Amino acid sequence: MTEHIVAFGSLDDQVRSRAEALLAGRGVLEIVSSATDASPDTLARATAIAGTLRPGQLTAAANTRWVHSWAAGANADLSEEMLASDVTLTSSTGNGGIPLAEHSMLLMLMLSRDVPRWQRAQAEHRWDRFTHGELNGRTVAIVGLGNAGADLAAKAKAFHMHVLGVRRRVERPVPGVDELFAPERLHEVLARADFVVVTAPLTADTKGLFDGAAFRAMPAHAYFICISRGGIADDAALLRALQEGWIAGAGLDAHGTEPLPPESPFWDLPNVVVTPHNGATTGATAARGGEIFLANLERFLDGAPLANIVDKAAGY
């Protein structure tokens, strides 16, 4: 059988050449600049698609058996059509775990040492020395222990932190996690944390998980950090928590609305570090994503089970 692989976006030259080598004699690779530019004929030819489909496109792609998302989180790919279909959906989960863990450490360090205060002093040419915090001996609660959360646990232990973890499968220990808790015990965990880092995917279970009650459960000296998906925190509750001092501050790489609107009050809060969902934007992330796609392409061509299959019911 000749396969017709359609990829949305620009592929790295090496990934493209390796994909074409895998397809030699077994299929063809067609690259389309974006999903918007994919014609009905192109979609009809596709037996597999790499990229996120727009509403209605999966119906047009009647011959497609496999869709691969370039993203680690599959929430944007889980349309009603996808949920109702027999098409296998895979993701690039694992491609950005390392830089997201690094970004989490960066935000914890910036908040602990009040780096924005130094930045303001530098801009004003002021010599501003003050007593700041350190991570040694502090407790971090990691909500979600996938690739990013697990790597963060190891990094936090290297900083001599006490690590609490929240995940659905508590029967499986995670290296670097000192204590593991089920989601039902979230508020109990939050009450013990100096830092709370959200690395979980956005699903029906996690949407709005951090509401007013969750932020009230955190100590007033604690910091909230989100590096996975906006929407896990209720923005109105988070804003109130920051403005009224329920918590000490926040490091936000993922936001409820993206791009974060210029008029958003989060930009100007002195106890918030805002980054533009940029924590995993590294060359190595892209390279790992290419490797995940190529490995699955080889499996697809060989009729072998695919890796990183998304559980459509669970959302990841």
Answer yes or no: 258 catalytic.
Answer: yes
229 noted as active-site residue: yes
Neighbours of 23 (CB within 10 A): 18
Q: Is the dihedral of CA 283, 91, 195, 225 positive or negative?
A: positive
CB distance 266 to 239 below 8 Å = yes
Strand partners, 139: 162
Whether 277 is catalytic is yes
Q: Could you say which of 20, 277, 298, 299 is catalytic?
A: 277
Set 54, 168, 188, 258: catalytic member: 258
Of the candidates 4, 167, 229, 288, the residue annotated as catalytic is 229
Contacts of 7 (CB under 8 A, 6+ apart): 19, 29, 30, 31, 32, 49, 50, 51
State both tokens at 259. 């791009």
Catalytic residue set: 229, 258, 277
